[in-house]
C-alpha cells in the first residue's frame, strides 16, 4: 500500500460519482441528486467546512464525531445517519488513527422544503439507523443508477433517495421525539421569557443545539400549534391576565406585549380567546 498523506481521504480506493446527466434531461425537477459516493476506510477529519447542498451521510462502520455550527460534539458510530445543510459550518470525521466507512448523497430542489416540513431531513443531529436492514444495498443502488448516465436512472435514483429518507425517518423519528421530554421544558421557559418582547427564535434553537425546523416540530408536537401561533397564544394568555387583573388600557397592554398595532392585537385576541379584549374585561 502506498504511503498515507495528511490530505488523503482514505488509503483505499474511493468511489465518487458526479452527475452525468444535464438537468434539463430529467423529469423529476423538484429533487435532483448531485454528487454521490462511497468512502471506505475514510481517515480524513475536516474542520470548519461549509457545503453548498444538502447531503445525507451514512456510516457503515467505524466511528468519529460530528459538529454543526460550533455546537455540541456528537458521537458517530456504526449505523449513524446525519445531514449536512447548505451554509452551515461542520467539523467531522474519524479520530486520529481511526477510520470510518461512509456513504453520502447530496441533493437539491424545491422538494427539500416539503421534506423539511415532513421531518424527512434535519440538520444538527446524529441519528442511529442500525435497525434499517438493507440500507447499504440501497445506497449502492443509488450509486449504480447515477453512474450509468441514463436520465431515467438519475430520476429513479432521486425517487429512491426519497424512499430512503422516508424509511430512515420512521426509525429515527422515534429517537428524535425522546428528546422532547428533556428539552421542551427549557424551550417553553425560553419562549415564556419572551412574552414581553420579540423572541429570537434562531438564538433559542442554537442555545438548545437544534435546528429551526426541529424547534418548530417540537413545539407543534408538544402543543399541537405551529410555533408562531404558540407564541401568539402565550401573549394572548398574558393579555387576558392583564385585562382581568389590572386597569391597564388595551393599547398599553398591546404595546407591552410588543404589538405596535392595537387593532391587530385585538383581532388576534378575539381569534384565540373567543372575545374582544373589552368584552373579556366586562365578562367578570
Residues 104-122 have pLDDT tens digits of: 999 999 999 888 877 788 8
Q: Stretch 54-74: mean pLDDT, rounded?
A: 96
Return the closest-CA partner of residue 187 out of 173, 177, 201, 172: 201
269 and 128 part of one domain? no
Domain boundary among 158, 178, 198: 178
Residue 129 in any domain: the answer is yes
Q: Are residues 259 and 192 in the same domain?
A: yes
By percentage, how much of the chain surpasses pLDDT 70?
Answer: 93
Domain total in the chain:
2
Q: What is the CATH number of the domain that holds 220?
A: 1.10.10.60
**DSSP code of residue 53:** S
pLDDT tens digits for range 172-211: 665 444 555 568 889 999 999 999 998 999 999 998 888 8
Tell me whether residue 7 is in a domain. no
Q: Which three cell numbers stand for residue 28?
A: 423529476
Sign of CA dihedral 203, 86, 62, 157: positive
Which one of 178, 196, 230 terminates a domain? Answer: 178
3 falls within a domain: no
Predicted confidence at residue 173, as pLDDT, reads: 61
Tell me, yes or no, whether 144 and 34 share the same domain: yes
What is the average pLDDT score of the chain?
90
Q: Tell me the C-alpha distance between 52 and 54, whole Å.
A: 7
- Distance of alpha carbon 228 from alpha carbon 76, whole angstroms: 34
Contact 66, 94 (CB under 8 A): no
- Is residue 96 located within the same domain as residue 167? yes
Residues 47 and 118 in one domain: yes
280 in any annotated domain: yes
Q: Are residues 54 and 126 in the same domain?
A: yes
Check whether residue 40 and residue 152 sit in a common domain.
Answer: yes
Domain boundary among 143, 178, 213: 178
Taking 90 as the threshold, does the pLDDT of residue 170 lie above it? no
Evaluate whether residue 8 is within a structural domain: no
| Same-domain check for residues 204 and 280 | yes
pLDDT at 7: 58
Q: Where are the alpha helices (DSSP H) in the chain?
A: 111-118, 135-147, 151-178, 180-192, 201-207, 212-223, 227-245, 250-256, 262-273, 277-282
Is the pLDDT at 156 greater than 50, yes or no? yes
Query: Is residue 1, in this structure, part of any structural domain at all?
Result: no
Residue 272 and residue 160 in one domain? no
Same domain (yes/no): 101, 189: no
The region, left, alpha or beta by phi > 0 then psi within -120 to 50, assigned to residue 13 is beta
- Expressed as residue numbers, the domain containing 220 is 181-284
For the whole prediction, is pTM greater than 0.85? no
Residues 238 and 152 in one domain: no
Amino acid at each position: 500500500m502506498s504511503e498515507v498523506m495528511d490530505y488523503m481521504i482514505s488509503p483505499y480506493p474511493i468511489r465518487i460519482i458526479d452527475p452525468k446527466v444535464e438537468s434539463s434531461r430529467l423529469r423529476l425537477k423538484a429533487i435532483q441528486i448531485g454528487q454521490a459516493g462511497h468512502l471506505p476506510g475514510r481517515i480524513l477529519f475536516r474542520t470548519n467546512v461549509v457545503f453548498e447542498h444538502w447531503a445525507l451521510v451514512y456510516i457503515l462502520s467505524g466511528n468519529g464525531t460530528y459538529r454543526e455550527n460550533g455546537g455540541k460534539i456528537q458521537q458517530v458510530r456504526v449505523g449513524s445517519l446525519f445531514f449536512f445543510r447548505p451554509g452551515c459550518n461542520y467539523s467531522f470525521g474519524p479520530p486520529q488513527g481511526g477510520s470510518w466507512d461512509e456513504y453520502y448523497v447530496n441533493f437539491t430542489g424545491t422538494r427539500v422544503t416539503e421534506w423539511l416540513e415532513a421531518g424527512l431531513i434535519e440538520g444538527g443531529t446524529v441519528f442511529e439507523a442500525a435497525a434499517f436492514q438493507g440500507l447499504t444495498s440501497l445506497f449502492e443502488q443509488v450509486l449504480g443508477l447515477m453512474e450509468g448516465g441514463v436520465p431515467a436512472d438519475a430520476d429513479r435514483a432521486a425517487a429512491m433517495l426519497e424512499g430512503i429518507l422516508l424509511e430512515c425517518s420512521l426509525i429515527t423519528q422515534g429517537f428524535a421525539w425522546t428528546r422532547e421530554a428533556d428539552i421542551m421544558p427549557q424551550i417553553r421557559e425560553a419562549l415564556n421569557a419572551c412574552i414581553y418582547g420579540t423572541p429570537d427564535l434562531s438564538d433559542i434553537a442554537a442555545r438548545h443545539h437544534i435546528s429551526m425546523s426541529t424547534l418548530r416540530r417540537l413545539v407543534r408536537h408538544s402543543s399541537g400549534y405551529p410555533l408562531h401561533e404558540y407564541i401568539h397564544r402565550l401573549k394572548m394568555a398574558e393579555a387576558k391576565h392583564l385585562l382581568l387583573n389590572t386597569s391597564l388600557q388595551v393599547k398599553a397592554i398591546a404595546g407591552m406585549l410588543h404589538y405596535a398595532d392595537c387593532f391587530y392585537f385585538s383581532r388576534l385576541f378575539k381569534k384565540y380567546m373567543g372575545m374582544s379584549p373589552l368584552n373579556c374585561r366586562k365578562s367578570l
